[in-house]
Structure 1
Amino acid sequence: MNFFENFWDIFWWFFTIYAFFGYMYALFAIIGDIFRDHALNGWLKAIWLFALVFIPFLTVLVYLIARGNGMTQRSMENARQRQAAGEAYIRSVATSGPTSSPSDEISKAKALLDDGTITATEFAAIKAKVAV
């Protein structure tokens, strides 16, 4: 066997695997977009899915050409909604934390001082911070 014959076999194998995973990614992105699109009724969704099963490669190309811009817009809107939900969750968690009184904070700091975890200067800094 010649090195270049093996090289092109390996190259072709990698290209085939890359194309297969690229196709699978596009297929699942399209299926997700079909179900995310509220403008399509159930029959049109069924027709697209039927075509994806029985004429897969051609249907993927037609879908990307015909509905690619809408797919991008729906994906961006979904990302915006997820980001807003994440930020709202972070705000709710950050503001609804347990509130403790200054005396509770000072007693916790005193316990840390007694255990030797913090120094007297750190204890005084915590007291001054809580008192403000």
Structure 2
Amino acid sequence: MNEYVNLAYDYPLLGAFWTVLWIVLWVSWFILLFRVIADIFRDDTLSGWAKTGWLFFTILLPFLGVFVYVLARGRSMGSRERRHLQAQQEALDHYIRETAGGTGRKSEADELMKLSEIRARGDITDEEFRRAKEKILH
């Protein structure tokens, strides 16, 4: 028993590697667990009872529940995620358009006001003003 035994953990670099590996695996596991739970709530095709069943299965038996969920419904998780991200992007774009001043198209009154300013400066004639005004109003 007095013999010195070389184990993998006796080497500090290898011990650090195993520690980092376990931390990465645990973080990956929790990311997968939370993505599955988010996907359960996000899926509109599941009924309330089905969502409850998947949640209980995932929470009570997490490893088995997550792996069964990924095997059974994992193929469509990506498409649900894409639809969710597209809906978020559309909502953000809509909010930005509203906040920035509408659809980007100026109202007729704004265009007529600018047109009258151009005429007042003398950059266009009365005939050009009349034609531009008719174009705006029709």
Q: Same fold (TM over 0.5)?
A: yes
Name the SS of the counterpart of 1:39 in structure 2: coil
For 2:47, give the aligned amino acid: N
User: Shift of the alpha carbon at 1:34?
Assistant: 0.4
Alignment pair present for 1:70 and 2:60? no
User: Shift of the alpha carbon at 1:4?
Assistant: 6.0
* d(CA) in 1 for partners of 2:95, 2:39: 26
Q: Deviations over 1:94-130 (max 9, x none)?
A: 115xxxx9xxxxxxxxxxxxxxxxxxxxxxxxxx9xx
Higher relative contact order (CA 8 A, sep 6+): 1
Alignment correspondent of 1:88: 94
Q: How many residues align?
A: 100
* d(CA) in 2 for partners of 1:38, 1:52: 18
Which of 6, 17, 25 matches 2:12?
6
* d(CA) in 2 for partners of 1:36, 1:8: 41
* d(CA) in 2 for partners of 1:42, 1:20: 30
Asked which structure has the greater CA Rg, the reply is 2
Name the SS of the counterpart of 2:72 in structure 1: helix
Q: Deviations over 1:66-118 (max 9, x none)?
A: 2112211111001111111111111111115xxxx9xxxxxxxxxxxxxxxxx
* d(CA) in 1 for partners of 2:65, 2:25: 16
Name the SS of the counterpart of 1:40 in structure 2: coil
* d(CA) in 1 for partners of 2:46, 2:16: 43
Alignment correspondent of 1:58: 64
Name the SS of the counterpart of 1:35 in structure 2: helix
Which of 37, 41, 50 matches 1:44?
50
* d(CA) in 2 for partners of 1:15, 1:37: 32
Name the SS of the counterpart of 1:38 in structure 2: coil
* d(CA) in 1 for partners of 2:14, 2:58: 32
* d(CA) in 1 for partners of 2:60, 2:86: 34
- What is the aligned-residue identity percentage? 36
Which of 19, 33, 36 matches 1:30?
36
